[in-house]
Structure 1
Amino acid sequence: MNDASVWGVKDVTSAKGAADENFPVGSFLISRRMRPHVHAYYNFARVIDDMVDNADLTSAQKIARLRAMGEVIRGEREAPQRADAQTAVTLRRHLLETRVPLETATDLIEAFCIDAVKNRYETWEELLHYCRYSANPVGHFLLRLHGEDEDTLAPSDALCSALQVLNHLQDAASDLKVLDRCYLPQPWLAEEGVRTEDVLLVRSKPGLKRVFDRLLDRVDELNAQARRLPDLVRDRRMRLEAAVIVALSHRLAERLRHEDPIADRVKPTRGDGLRALAWSARYIV
């Protein structure tokens, strides 16, 4: 039975799409046969992200709705005939068809349940724990979808976590302004004599820049681990996709070293994408 107290009456689906993302979502490098599965996964992820960022829902309402989406994925609950809830129905069908573990979807829900109640972070380890659920399942989904081996998962986790932290740096100001959420480790800010609210200034203070660079040092370590990924991926098209994303992650980290994400949103350019595509050509064979 569909419980209105869980689902509410409002569809939370936003107008955001793949074009709003920083990195390829089911790009042309993914085979045409695989793209419908990738798009089903993306649509589900977009909706549960919309659920947790919805200002009209309380934390308890967000968690109840997110848990219900997980129950739909596991086949424990029916979903109402509404666009947001039906993304879980669609994704469950794709996961069962491809035999990709259901956890690649339900783990994402764990991250958004964290977002519903937690808006500050204390340590790098806490941040990595969040990435374990918010980003790493995406890599697991893509690799499992393509039948890749277990040894691809560790470098994939490094890549996905790096991308997530880079996204936190890109969106530091908007996350705090719109969602009152800050992923920058609070003690690191205190050590540099800056406040969380300083991310709302027109440009980064020197202390805030040092916090960003400290996070980028950790990202560089993750990116170094991620460089192994393309060599381990057997599927040629997936190997190229991985190589492009690895290159883009390195490039974005480099740009965030030299540009100010508080003054302007730093994101990959068309030129960055073309250079990443050219770099990935070495993995065609």
Structure 2
Amino acid sequence: MTDTASVWGRDDVSSGKGASDENFPVGSILLSKALRPHVHAYYDYARVIDDIADCETLSADEKIARLDAMEEVLLGKREPITRADALSAAKLRASLLKTGVPFETATDLLVAFRDDSRGTPCTSWDDLVQYCRYSANPVGRFLLHLHGEVPETFAASDALCTSLQILNHLQDCQKDLQRLNRCYMPEDLMAQAGATQDDLLAGRASPNLRRVFNTLLDKVDALNREAATLPGLVRGRRFRMECAAIVGLAHRLTQRLRREDPLAGRVALKRTDIMYAAGAALRAWS
């Protein structure tokens, strides 16, 4: 086991991000009030491990040591130290034990964040999908398990979560490269379009880079079509409304990224998009 002092060393690894920075609601009012504390426990844990992987003052080895320690606390292999990150893992452990949600929904996230910490390159669309399998899809599966939904919902949920993750990568493509030296634009698609990572640092997308964005959005459209089946598969009425709203928001954000340039400014959801999603949720009530 790694020495405790070297693992937990520095206190501040926060990226400054919180629930208000998310495109999509965290533990929204559409979710059962009884389940919201479990959703927030999962979100707090996910935010901490994301912050560790994104921390600019930790080395790759330090990040991985911190992530490994989080996993040990989560799995009950070490006692938590009085720190926000260790305590978030201990809190989620208690939640998972109480609800019976599989621990893989939490440990799978660590696979992606270890890759981020190592700087693992994204060489192809398949690499990107594989990354999303661990960075995003566990979130949907956590919620499905928490609500007692059936395995038939998993594929549509995975499609939705992968779509949301790729949309987020497109929104933040410039910032990720500038701040973290990280690029999720598949290298083979960039090469085919004649684009380079330097294009991501410009004030506007070049025609070559726009082709990469459009190719990714074409693939996201296919994911969104599969994701659109999710509300019809979900049995719980409130959760079905939540899923319908998020599917609607993914669709609207995809449209915005078609029309707007993420290099010229952050492409974000607007009030009209929220209203559209609210209408989708209401239609899913019946």
Partner of 2:272: 271
CA contact (8 A) 2:194 2:208 kept: yes
**One-letter code aligned to 1:129:** Q
Task: Report what 2:242 is aligned to.
Answer: 241
Unaligned runs of 5+ in 2: none
Q: Which moved more, 1:175-184 or 1:273-282?
A: 273-282
**In 2, Cα distance between the equivalents of 1:270 and 1:190?**
37
Alignment RMSD (CA, Å)? 1.2
CA gap of 1:164–1:218, structure 2 versus 1, over 3 A, is same
Shift of 1:118: 2.3
TM-score by length of 1: 0.97
8 Å Cα contact 1:11/1:83 also seen in 2: no
> How big is each residue's C-alpha offset from its partner over 1:207-257, in whole Å with a ceiling of 9 and x where there is no partner?
100000000011011111101100010111110110000010011111111
Structure 1 consecutive aligned stretches of length 4 or more whose deviation exceeds 2 Å = 11-16
How many residue pairs match? The answer is: 285
SS state at 2:93 partner:
helix
Greater displacement, 215-224 / 6-15? 6-15
SS in 1 for 2:72: helix
Amino acid at match of 1:72: V
Q: Secondary structure at the match of 1:48?
A: helix
Aligned pair 1:52/2:58, yes or no?
no
Amino acid of the structure 1 residue aligned with 2:88: T
Alpha-carbon distance in 2 for matches of 1:160, 1:266: 19
User: For the Cα contact (< 8 Å) 2:176–2:183, is it kept in 1?
Assistant: yes
Quick check: 1:119–1:183 contact (8 Å CA) kept in 2?
no
CA distance in 1, matches of 2:214, 2:120: 21
Q: Which runs of 5+ in 1 are unaligned?
A: none
Instruction: Determine if the alignment matches structure 1 residue 130 to structure 2 residue 102.
Output: no
Provide Cα deviations, 1:108-156, integer angstroms capped at 9, x if missing partner: 1111001011253111000000000000000000000000000001100
Do the aligned residues in 2 keep the contact of 1:159 with 1:246 (CA within 8 Å)?
A: yes
**Aligned residue number for residue 181 of structure 2:** 180
1:148 and 1:213 map into 2 onto residues whose CA distance is: 34
Report the counterpart of residue 190 of structure 2 in structure 1. Answer: 189
Residue number in structure 1 paired with 2:66: 65
Tell me how far apart the structure 1 counterparts of residues 232 and 204 of structure 2 sit (CA, whole Å).
Answer: 40
Q: Percent identity?
A: 56
Whole-angstrom CA distance in 1 between matches of 2:260 and 2:228: 24
Distance 1:20 1:28 in 2: 18
Does structure 2 conserve the Cα–Cα contact (< 8 Å) formed by 1:7 and 1:65? yes
Q: Structure 1 residue 283: deviation in Å? A: 1.1
SS of 2:275's equivalent in the other structure is helix
Taking the aligned partners of 1:194 and 1:282, their CA distance within structure 2 comes to 42
Residue 13 of structure 1: how far off its partner (Å):
3.7
Residue 167 in structure 1 maps to residue 165 in structure 2? no
Task: Quote the Cα distance in structure 1 between the aligned partners of 2:205 and 2:110.
Answer: 33
Cα deviation, residue 14, structure 1: 4.5
The residue type paired with residue 261 of structure 2 is: D
TM-score (norm 2): 0.97
**C-alpha distance in 1, partners of 2:93/2:113?**
18
